Structure 1
Amino acid sequence: MITTGGRERPQPGKRNVSITTPPPPPTPASDAKSPASPASAGSSARDTAVPRRRSLLLGGGALGAVALLSGCSDDAEPRRDAGGEAAVALLRSRGARDSTALLARYDATVDAHPDLGERLAPLREETARHAAVFTTKDRSASPSATASRSPSSGGQRVPKVPQDEKQALSALAQAERQTADTRTAALATAPPELARLLASVAACGAAHVYLLTQRDTDS
């Protein structure tokens, strides 16, 4: 006997045997899922590509910003150097002019009061050295060009010196103090190297003020 679809059909002349057609095997769960459609595959690829593209764009933007900043720095450097050199030249010119003016005042004071020559000689020598240092970029320049009377100091207008010796020293100390204050104020805009020079010369001027007024205070 053959069973088809659950129904028995007799076979003449043959032994009836029950034959049951086995049901189809169950479909595995993994096979039951339909394959990914091209649309979903393309969407997944796009989702993966978006972060990668964003990273590349951000990286490229960062590199571009660095290149732009480098270009700006390179272009600004010559202008900054030129401006710095002009500022240094101006400050040096003022420093030399102020020291030369002090030098002329020392000479005028000694001319008016020869007895002060020995006392003022060391201070005048340092003032001459300051004028030489401001005039040349070489700090080790010899002050011999301005240590003795020179046209640069003698050709200037001779400062008026008080007839009284103490008043003459006081006027000289006041000139030193004003010059030191001017140089101290210039430190804010001076480049580091020139600022150190200005600070050193200003401190020396302050010492001159003390030496010029010390005897008057003691007396």
Structure 2
Amino acid sequence: MPIDSRPRRRSLLATGVTGAAALLLTGCSDEAREVVERERASLARRLRRRAARDSAELLDRYDRTIAAHPSLAERLRPLRADVARHVTAFGGTASRGSASPRAQASPEAARNAGADTTVPEDSGRALAALADAERATADARTRALLDAPPELARLLASVAAAGAVHAYLLTNGER
């Protein structure tokens, strides 16, 4: 079994706790602590905004797929509703129709999902494309876990797991 050399969440947390303790023990100024807290909060806001944008783009894909293939609407509606809740959970606004300019996917999600966002004419391929987009978005969220504060990390992990389940359901378990 290969050994993963990437740091584990536990070791990252331990490093953070050790660093915080060192700051306190060395008599670090209140100003320095405030700077660190502002940076952490800023990172969390950026991660949350990116997750909301990526969910909004995924929601838009569901809307376009349902519009192109009305016969899939009943199958896709529950998954679309989950994605709309994800947008809201990350602080975005879930709306019907195209994503607003603010809700465009992050460059990473666009790269992972592929530049082509058109809906294939074949319904099977349309489902496969939607499943690929779900997987790419779930993968991007999983990678973001390392940088996220604990509360946001739990949300990202939960939504990434939901995306993986959506991908499975869209392909009936087939790869």
Which structure carries more relative contact order (alpha carbon 8 Å, separation 6+)? 2
Distance 2:66 2:94 in 1: 16
Post-superposition offset of 1:75:
3.6
- The 5 Å alignment of 1:32-181 reads 69=25, 71-72=27-28, 74-135=30-91, 146=94, 148-149=96-97, 152=100, 159-181=117-139
TM norm structure 2: 0.72
Give SS of 1:78's match: helix
Give SS of 1:129's match: helix
For residues 99-134 of structure 1, give each alpha carbon's deviation from its aligned partner in whole angstroms, at most 9, with x where no partner exists: 000001001101110000000000000101101111
Distance 1:214 1:110 in 2: 18
Post-superposition offset of 1:79:
1.1
Distance 1:181 1:106 in 2: 18
Partner of residue 165, structure 2: 207
Post-superposition offset of 1:97:
0.6
Partner of residue 144, structure 2: 186
Distance 1:87 1:112 in 2: 37
State how many pairs are aligned. Answer: 141
Distance 1:83 1:156 in 2: 24
Q: Give ranges in structure 1 of 5+ residues lacking alignment.
A: 1-65, 137-144
For residues 117-173 of structure 1, give each alpha carbon's deviation from its aligned partner in whole angstroms, at most 9, with x where no partner exists: 00000000010110111116xxxxxxxx626447639x9699300001100000000
For residues 2-35 of structure 1, give each alpha carbon's deviation from its aligned partner in whole angstroms, at most 9, with x where no partner exists: xxxxxxxxxxxxxxxxxxxxxxxxxxxxxxxxxx
Q: Give ranges in structure 2 of 5+ residues lacking alignment.
A: 1-21, 106-115
State, as a whole percentage, how many aligned pairs show the same letter: 54
Cα contact 2:54–2:104 (8 A) shared by 1: no
